[in-house]
Amino acid sequence: MSSGTRESKNIRNILWVEIILRSFAGGDSNLAVFNLLCGALKILNNLPDDKTPYISIQFIWRFICISGFNPALNACGKCGKMPGSNEQMHLLENIFCCSSCSSETDYALSPGGRKYLINTVSKPLVLTSSSIASFLRFIDSSLFIKTGFNPR
């Protein structure tokens, strides 16, 4: 492993631990948070460099879900309208809104990004080498075809 790769992975490790520490592990001593961190660290250790952004996205989104702060992605948080398959959702006051309820200056979540989060949060983030291989196959094949999401 090159020093640049090691540094990149160490930065991700530090980010995850900081998120947990600064949020007080979601407000409780939480076994789910501990298991998430341990699992993510083991997977990160075995991932190729070009796949490491995906485990960070998975860690952060799953932590948000465990903490109970995840905003709904399947309907506008203001008017309740279901987004079209090619419609961006915009982050406005900690909720995702449709284009009609938000302004162009809001942070946008692409349709592919939304589908990626919805489709992957239900997939297990587990610790075995075969599950890591399965995770990589999922990223490389159906994920981009189905969602069009690329975090780079």
What are the tens digits of pLDDT across the range 85-100?
Answer: 888 888 877 788 888 8
- HEC string of 63-88 equals HHHHHCCCCCCCCCCCCCCCCCCCCC
**Of the candidate ranges 56-65, 67-76, 116-125, 142-151, the one whose mean pLDDT is the lowest:** 142-151
Q: How far apart are CA 124 and CA 133, in angstroms?
A: 13
Axis crossing angle, helix 52-67 with helix 111-120, rounded to the nearest 10: 70
Confidence at 142, pLDDT banded by 50, 70, 90: very low
Q: How far apart are CA 63 and CA 32, in angstroms?
A: 9
- φ/ψ of 106, rounded to 5, equals -70, 155
Q: Is the pLDDT of residue 60 over 80?
A: yes
Distant-in-sequence, close-in-space partners of 110: CB < 8 Å, separation ≥ 6: 88, 148, 149
- φ/ψ of 147, rounded to 5, equals -115, -25
pTM of the entire predicted model: 0.70
pLDDT at position 14, please?
A: 81
Confidence at 105, pLDDT banded by 50, 70, 90: low
pLDDT at position 80, please?
A: 93
